[in-house]
């Protein structure tokens, strides 16, 4: 189980962007907004790029692109490069595999100041590329994980009113997932990392939750953009091992 919670791109003071194009109504800074509906849009579908200057070299081992419109066509490609200066091609590169909702990749940590996304999608019918979030950072590996007995709840915000004779009056809402998990006794080193995460994100900042690390074959446990719901209570099991529960709810 992995949780991405510290997006280095979100540092408003040190991060600087250079883009090939942007729609003035949907600027690149929208990609730093926590809401996926506040999107960044390009003005083309080929030769598009985002260069990110993090302000200093940062160790990164995970990348994500959320709420995008990149097509599944074989002609589409997303490449991530890294370098110690704003010079390209970079010293390293990663090819990011397409996924309908969240494009996500983990790799061996690389420490660089400059990162470049390159996009090609000539068969995109929208005429532009859009992104709700761009994510560069590292992740928290939770071990031991909650492998069985966890609960996934499919929730719904439809507004429903029933008439006297059971006539239904409804306004459609949206659906989202809730994860409820209880973890076995865990060493204090991992507990400290979970505490650090919670101190940073609380219940206010979304994380990317990957229930089974890199598994992408089960829709119900697909990586989820979500917030921690409520407190995390730790129960001492002896010798500085603790059991605990964690609840997360999807956000958009």
Q: How many helices (H) and strands (E) does the chain have?
A: 1, 16
Looking at residue 157, its pLDDT comes to 96
Q: Which two tokens stand for residue 244?
A: 């605990």
What residues have CB less than 8 Å from 33, skipping those under 6 apart? none
Sign of CA dihedral 85, 88, 90, 96: positive
Looking at residue 12, its pLDDT comes to 83
Q: Which two tokens stand for residue 5?
A: 């919670």
How do residues 20-64 score in pLDDT, each as one tens digit? 999 999 999 999 999 999 999 999 999 999 999 999 999 999 999
Rounded to the nearest 5°, which phi and psi values hold at 201? -95, -25
How do residues 195-236 score in pLDDT, each as one tens digit? 999 999 999 999 999 999 999 999 999 999 999 999 999 999
The answer to whether the CB of 40 falls within 8 A of the CB of 130 is yes
3-state percent helix, strand, coil for the chain, nearest multiple of 5: 10, 50, 40
Tell me the CA distances in angstroms from 223 to 125, 150, 212, one per residue in order: 26, 15, 9
Q: How many residues does the chain have?
A: 252
- Lowest-confidence region among 10-19, 49-58, 86-95, 116-125: 10-19
* Paired strand residues for 80: 94, 117
Domains of the chain with bracketed CATH: 2-139 (2.60.120.260), 151-250 (no CATH)
How do residues 133-191 score in pLDDT, each as one tens digit? 999 999 999 999 999 999 999 999 999 999 999 999 999 999 999 999 999 999 999 99
């Amino acid at each position: 189980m992995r949780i991405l919670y510290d997006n280095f791109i979100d540092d408003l003071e040190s991060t600087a962007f250079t883009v090939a194009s942007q729609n003035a109504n949907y600027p690149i800074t929208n990609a730093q907004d926590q809401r996926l509906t506040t999107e960044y849009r390009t003005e083309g579908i080929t030769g598009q790029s985002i260069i990110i200057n993090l302000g200093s070299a940062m160790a990164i081992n995970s990348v994500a692109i959320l709420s995008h419109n990149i097509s599944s066509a074989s002609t589409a490609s997303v490449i991530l490069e890294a370098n110690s200066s704003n010079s390209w091609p970079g010293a390293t590169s990663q090819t990011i595999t397409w996924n309908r909702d969240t494009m996500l990749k983990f790799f061996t940590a690389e420490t660089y100041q400059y990162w470049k996304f390159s996009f090609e999608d000539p068969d995109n019918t929208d005429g532009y590329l859009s992104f709700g979030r761009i994510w560069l950072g590292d992740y928290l590996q939770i071990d031991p994980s909650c492998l069985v007995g966890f609960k996934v709840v499919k929730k719904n915000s439809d507004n429903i009113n029933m008439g006297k004779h059971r006539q239904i009056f409804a306004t459609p809402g949206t659906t989202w997932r809730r994860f409820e998990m209880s973890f076995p006794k865990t060493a204090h080193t991992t507990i400290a990392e979970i505490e650090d995460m919670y101190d940073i994100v609380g219940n206010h900042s979304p994380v990317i939750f990957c229930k089974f690390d890199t598994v992408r074959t089960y829709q119900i446990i697909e990586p989820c953009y979500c917030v921690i719901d409520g407190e995390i209570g730790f129960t001492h099991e002896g010798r500085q091992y603790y059991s605990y529960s964690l609840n997360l709810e999807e956000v958009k």
